[in-house]
Amino acid sequence: MSEQNAVPRHEKVDYMTDTRPIAVDETGPGCKKRDPIVVAENISRSFGGINAVDVEYLEIPRHKITALIGPNGAGKTTLFNLLTGFDTPNSGKWQFEGHNIAGVSSYKLARLGMVRTFQLTKVMGKLTVMENMRLGAADQPGERLSKALFKGIWGGREKEITAQANVLLEKFKLDAKKDDYAASLSGGQRKLLEMARSLMVRPKLVMLDEPMAGVNPALTQSLLDHIKNLKSEGMTVLFVEHDMNMVRHIADWVVVMAEGKIVAEGPPADVMKNPAVIDAYLGAHHDVDLGDAEGIKELEAELEADEESIVGTENAGIIAPEIVVSGLDDKDKK
């Protein structure tokens, strides 16, 4: 953390109203942050001939909500996989909370306080909601074979874990379903369960891969509120998302990837006006402001005249002027 802007540990910060600048100097790809929780350098990962990730330098700001955006195939999920120990890079080093974590396995990272959710949820369908929650907890001595037969050793911890799970399930409005199989939940409820389960380790950094994908609109607001709550409780959030409306509303900071590289960084309003971002998403349609409803109407009109465009079809990414750009495909690019 840079000395000048550091807040003394005894001073309580309201993370929701903290308006101190996030970047130390000018914003831009790879810019330094006032208080980074993750620092990554020279991370590369290729599959065959494709450079899926080729990130020179990236810092993720602590106590902020950062959105990682970019067109399909930009390398967002691969970068998530690398940072969280689910994949191994060809090169690179990165730190979490000042610890070098290159090569550290995902379960150890979870214990350090770095957790993630997946684009396609990984809840255990044949376990109940409560059993899924218990699986998310760390430090359960009963999981060791040598101690499993002696309930006296692990029974107390089991009670603590169950109490913590009950609090989280209530918060996420899943308490009525705690004895149901996870397979019986809707897509949105599974996303909520996955998020609630990740909180069982009391993480410092929560990484969400497309939290809104497949979520019924009725649950969207609740998911957004939960993500904002993570920040208000002092956690850092990094999420991948295609829904620009969500990004504009909840992100403090946006990192844009294209073809494996970071092509822009900054506050949402600035980034969405950045020509490099518009180019990455829309190719030639670069005179449009992604954060502005008028701009989107203009874009829709322009694309309607374009034979290859998907606007107006069932696959259209742009669904309403107030919902800015959602799920653009490679097909959207000209």
Q: Which residues bind ligand ATP (CB under 6 A)?
A: 47, 50, 52, 70, 72-78
The DSSP annotation for 28-65 comes to STT--BSSEEEEEEEEEEEETTEEEEEEEEEEEETTSE
Q: Nearer to ligand ATP by C-beta: 35 or 210? A: 210
* Integer Cα distance of 303 and 280 in angstroms: 16
Q: Are strands 205-209 and 236-240 parallel, antiparallel or unpaired?
A: parallel
Q: Nearer to ligand ATP by C-beta: 73 or 141? A: 73
Tokens of 294: 């008028």
Tokens of 330: 């490679």
110 DSSP 8-state letter: H
Q: Phi-psi category of 246—alpha, beta or left, where left has phi over 0 and alpha has psi -120 to 50? A: alpha
Indicate the SS3 state at residue 67: strand
Q: Could you give the C-alpha distances from 241 to 21, 244, 298, in angstroms and in order? A: 23, 7, 23
- C-alpha distance across the termini of the chain, in Å: 42
Stretch (H or E) spanning 256? strand 253-258
Closest approach, Cβ 203 to ligand ATP, in A, equals 22
Closest approach, Cβ 142 to ligand ATP, in A, equals 35
Closest approach, Cβ 80 to ligand ATP, in A, equals 8
Closest approach, Cβ 43 to ligand ATP, in A, equals 12
Report the candidate in 287, 308, 305 with the shortest Cα–Cα distance to residue 296.
287
Closest approach, Cβ 173 to ligand ATP, in A, equals 28
Closest approach, Cβ 330 to ligand ATP, in A, equals 9
Q: Are strands 91-96 and 261-266 parallel, antiparallel or unpaired?
A: unpaired
* Edge-first strand listing for the sheet containing 36-47: 50-61, 36-47, 91-96, 99-100
Q: Nearer to ligand ATP by C-beta: 47 or 179? A: 47
Q: Nearer to ligand ATP by C-beta: 9 or 47? A: 47
Q: Nearer to ligand ATP by C-beta: 36 or 75? A: 75
What residues are paired with 96 via a beta bridge?
38, 99
Q: Nearer to ligand ATP by C-beta: 197 or 242? A: 242
Q: Nearer to ligand ATP by C-beta: 196 or 325? A: 325
Report the candidate in 240, 208, 242 with the shortest Cα–Cα distance to residue 227.
208
Closest approach, Cβ 70 to ligand ATP, in A, equals 5
Closest approach, Cβ 94 to ligand ATP, in A, equals 16
Indicate the SS3 state at residue 100: strand
Q: Nearer to ligand ATP by C-beta: 73 or 142? A: 73
Q: Nearer to ligand ATP by C-beta: 3 or 47? A: 47
What residues are paired with 254 via a beta bridge?
67, 266
What residues are paired with 320 via a beta bridge?
323
Closest approach, Cβ 74 to ligand ATP, in A, equals 4
